[in-house]
Structures are given as C-alpha cells and as structure tokens.
Amino acid sequence: MSAGRLLLGATPLGQPGDASTRLVAALSGADIIAAEDTRRVRQLAQSLEVRPTGRVTSLFDQNEASRVPALVEAVQSGATVLVVSDAGMPLINDPGYRLVTACIEAGLTVSCLPGPSAVTTALAVSGLPSDRFCFEGFAPRKQAARTAWLQTLATEQRTCVFFESPRRLPDTLRDAVATLGPDRRAVVCRELTKTHEEIRRGSLADLAEWAADGVLGEITVVLAGAVPQADVDTLVDQVNERVAAGVRVKDACAEVIAANPGAPSRRELYDAVLRSRD
C-alpha cells in the first residue's frame, strides 16, 4: 500500500465564504481530520454544506505529542490526514508543528491548502511597510517579560505582527508606549473579516487611549519598524567631504540629512560639524 499524505488546511478567519474549494474537497474526502477544536470544524463543515466522511479527532497543544505516532502511522498506511486550526493557517501559533516534522522525518508527503491567515491579512490592511516583517506570536502575559520583549523591538526595523488577547491589550499598549515611545506607529485589527471588523491606525499613544476602556474580539497588532538612527560622526564626515568639494556647510548638512533616514535635525548636525573643527 502506498503512503498517504498530510494536508495543512487554512480555514476562514470569520467568513465561511473565504474557504477554498480545495479545503471544501479535503473536508469531504479526508480519511482523518485532525482539528484544534472538533466542534468548530464540524460547524465550519455545516456552514459549507460539507459532510465529512472521515474520522474527526482533536489535535491541540496539550495532546499533540501523544497524537503524533498514530497520525503518522495512518499516513504511512495510506490515509489522507487533514490538519485544521480554529481559524487561519495551522502551525502559525497553532498546533501541527510536531506532526509536520514527524511526517517529514518519516519521508511522507506534506502539502498545504493555502488560504486565510490573520498575520498576512492584518499586514496587508495596516498601511505599514510589508516588504520585510516578522511575526512574534502572542505577546508575553507577565509585565516583566512583556517589557523585556518590547525592548527587543525597540531597534527592530521590520514591521512586526503579533497576537494579543482583548483582556491584555490595554496593558500591552501602555507598556509599548512606555518602552517604545508614544509616537511609534501601530495598527490594531479586531475581528478580521467578521461582521464587526475594526481597523484602528495611529500612534501607540492614540491606540492605548482608545483601548483603555476595554476591547472585545480577536486581536492582531501590527507595529511599525523602528526608524534607523544614523551615526552622527559618520554624518559629520559626509558633510565635511561635501564641504571640501565646495558645498556650503548648511547645504551639505541638508543633503546629508535628506540621504540618511533617522538623521538628527539640520541644526543638530550643523552644530556637530562645528564642534568637529574645534
């Protein structure tokens, strides 16, 4: 008997209509459906007018390790095993990693049915740079750990996406203001794709004030990357090179500032150039 395959199926974040035709077919035809919450996947199947013919079993963080051997054996025996999380792409802060690595180590086929993901959806609507980004999972629960984590983002130049519970969001935003400064840009995405979807854009101070009285729903936060801080001594050298070529000091300062994001003000750079000549 030939080996089966492991399928990773992205499920809708809120709108059943976002389910792909491949996911609908997999829900109907998979031999085993390993779901983060069996009730949720049955509700999804019902809304899609799909009747699963295979066995539905649970696969969540607390039982994944114990479930892996039997599921790998099923794939080896020719079964198609479909893994789904409650919403979005499996493994992205959801169960499935142990099973995927075990199947890969066993030389089995692992395929993905692409589709909705809160990470990329939030990034796309944020209006923040998306050419380079990082995903941080859930923000730490305890304040000390959260503050230490935020400090690692103080110089992170990539746009950062992370999840947060609505209950902890006000505290996280207040800590972000204290650690990263009130002016850092961010976006809070609430209930993505659902009836009450809300996208709030602004500074961390603005968002902290908005969330202070409490927020409901599934939360994804997108944080702007840090603006790189230019080295003043290097900028002074660039100004002096231009001055040596015949450019006036003030004009040289303006040119250098325009070419270096994160540079100090024109007055600060001008004063630094004069101090370098003392």
Q: What is the mean pLDDT of residues 132-155?
A: 96
Reported as a single tens digit per residue, the pLDDT across 76-126 is 999 999 999 999 999 999 999 999 999 999 999 999 999 999 999 999 999
Check residue 162 and give left, alpha or beta (phi > 0: left; psi -120 to 50: alpha): beta
Share above pLDDT 90 across residues of the chain, in percent, rounded to a whole number: 88
Given pLDDT bands bounded at 50, 70 and 90, which one contains residue 1?
low
3-state secondary structure of 101: helix
254-278 burial, b if ≥16 CB within 10 A, otherwise e? bebbeebeebbeeeebbebbeeeee
Contact 27, 50 (CB under 8 A): yes
Reported as a single tens digit per residue, the pLDDT across 185-235 is 999 999 999 999 999 999 999 999 999 999 999 999 999 999 877 788 889
E strands, the chain, are: 5-9, 32-35, 55-58, 80-84, 109-113, 133-138, 159-164, 185-190, 198-203, 219-223
Query: Cα–Cα–Cα angle for 174, 94, 197, nearest 5°?
Result: 55
pLDDT the model gives residue 231? 81
Q: Are strands 159-164 and 219-223 parallel, antiparallel or unpaired?
A: antiparallel
Cα–Cα dist 58/39, whole Å: 9
Global pTM reads: 0.83
Residues in a beta bridge with 7 = 82, 111
